[in-house]
């Protein structure tokens, strides 16, 4: 297994003397093994790497070798597994290399390929993966939204942005504008799609998602009363409707549990970690559930 091979090479390198040719050769072998499971710079079957891919791959190897040499002796395998640590090191190396110029060169290579060819489609897949790995996607308008709203909208906007890039890569003009940056073109589209996605969420729908949180912002003393009434209603769940409402195949991820976690001050990120479910999935489910039970909440808390 690859993980066994990784650990063997890792501990072999740790046992060898510093700055020796023997250790350097082991580290080079370790770099090759780590990059076997890479998600970019993979050739299309029957083809070699393109020029842009070759440049990226060569620099990733250099970066990875440098980072391993610097950190392998200080790394503590009791705190994080060898495989997980090496995955983090690989991502850091890839992110360091994937600057705007490399992304731009990959985009220009794609433009040179005839439409509807296997190689063009393959390189587009490489570009989409590289954009996401680069960490260079912006987060426009984040300050304008409640975090859970933004997470939901942002994920959809990113998918639409990457789809746009694939369909309209020939519209990218490297000579346009003073900076001529590829990610400026990508992030400009993302900016517009964030707004577009926001418009698709009607105000009633957004209010439904926020219905429980909004109770916390009502004027005192009304807020305490409504908040406590709503919490008591969800805790008691007299008709067993809140616990029955759950994410598909996950009865533990039910509306009652999620709502009470929110009442107890847990963030969406904390709930996501506890349930091992992505934030957009949780917030989307929460949104639909709030809408479904909205009349029940009003009826229960009415004077």
pLDDT digits (tens, 9 = 90+) for 23-36: 999 999 999 999 99
Residue located via tokens 């690859």: 2
Query: Rg (Cα) of the chain, in Å, rounded?
Result: 25
Give the pair of three-digit tokens for residue 130.
Answer: 């590289």
pLDDT for res 259: 87
- pLDDT above 70 as % of the chain: 87
- Nearest-CA neighbor of 65 among 82, 85, 83, 90? 90
Torsion 240-243-247-250 (CA) sign: negative
Residue 152, pLDDT > 70, answer yes
Residue 218, pLDDT > 50, answer no
pLDDT for res 212: 53
Supply the DSSP string of 193-220, one letter for each residue.
HHHHHHHHS-HHHHHHHHHHHHHTTSPT
pLDDT digits (tens, 9 = 90+) for 102-138: 999 999 999 999 999 999 999 999 999 999 999 999 9
pLDDT for res 243: 92
Q: Report the Cα 287 to chain-centroid distance in Å.
A: 21
pLDDT for res 39: 92
Which of 74-83, 142-151, 219-228 has the highest average model confidence (pLDDT)? Answer: 74-83
pLDDT for res 1: 54
d(CA 294, CA 298): 6
Give the pair of three-digit tokens for residue 182.
Answer: 């590829």
- Assign 47 a pLDDT band (cuts: 50, 70, 90): very high
d(CA 185, CA 174): 9
70 or 282, higher pLDDT: 70
pLDDT for res 216: 42
Backbone φ and ψ for 169, nearest 5 degrees, come out as: -60, -30
50 exposed, middle or buried (CB, 10 Å; 0-12, 13-18, 19+)? buried
Supply the DSSP string of 80-115, one letter for each residue.
S-HHHHHHHHHHHHHHHH--HHHHHHHHHHHHTSPT
The SS3 call for residue 246 is strand
215 contacts: CB under 8 Å, gap ≥ 6 = 223, 226, 227, 230
Mean pLDDT of all residues belonging to the chain: 85
244 or 198, higher pLDDT: 244
Average pLDDT, stretch 73-92?
90
Lowest mean pLDDT segment, chosen from 48-52, 144-148, 210-214, 244-248: 210-214
pTM of this structure? 0.67
Which of 153-162, 175-184, 214-223, 287-296 has the highest average model confidence (pLDDT)? Answer: 153-162
pLDDT for res 297: 76
């Amino acid at each position: 297994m690859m993980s066994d091979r990784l650990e063997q090479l890792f501990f072999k390198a740790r046992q060898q003397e510093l700055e020796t040719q023997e250790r350097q050769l082991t580290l080079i072998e370790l770099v090759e093994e780590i990059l076997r499971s890479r998600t970019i710079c993979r050739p299309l079957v029957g083809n070699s790497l393109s020029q842009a891919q070759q440049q990226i791959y060569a620099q990733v190897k250099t970066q990875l070798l440098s980072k391993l040499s610097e950190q392998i002796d200080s790394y503590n395998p009791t705190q994080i597994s060898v495989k997980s640590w090496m995955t983090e090191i690989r991502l850091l190396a890839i992110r360091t290399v994937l600057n705007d110029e490399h992304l731009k060169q990959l985009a220009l290579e794609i433009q040179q390929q005839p439409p509807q060819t296997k190689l063009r489609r393959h390189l587009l897949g490489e570009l989409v993966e590289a954009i996401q790995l680069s960490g260079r996607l912006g987060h426009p308008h984040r300050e304008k939204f409640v975090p859970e709203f933004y997470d939901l909208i942002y994920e959809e906007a990113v998918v639409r942005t990457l789809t746009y890039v694939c369909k309209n890569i020939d519209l990218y003009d490297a000579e346009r504008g003073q900076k001529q940056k590829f990610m400026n073109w990508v992030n400009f589209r993302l900016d517009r799609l964030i707004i577009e996605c926001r418009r698709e969420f009607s105000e009633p729908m957004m209010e439904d998602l926020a219905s429980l949180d909004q109770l916390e912002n009502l004027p005192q003393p009304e807020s305490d009363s409504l908040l406590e009434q709503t919490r008591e209603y969800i805790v008691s769940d007299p008709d067993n409707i809140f616990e029955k409402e759950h994410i598909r195949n996950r009865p533990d991820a039910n509306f009652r549990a999620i709502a009470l976690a929110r009442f107890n001050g847990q963030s969406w990120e904390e709930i996501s970690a506890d349930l091992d479910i992505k934030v957009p999935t949780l917030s989307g489910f929460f949104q639909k559930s709030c809408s479904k039970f909205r009349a029940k909440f009003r009826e229960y808390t009415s004077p």
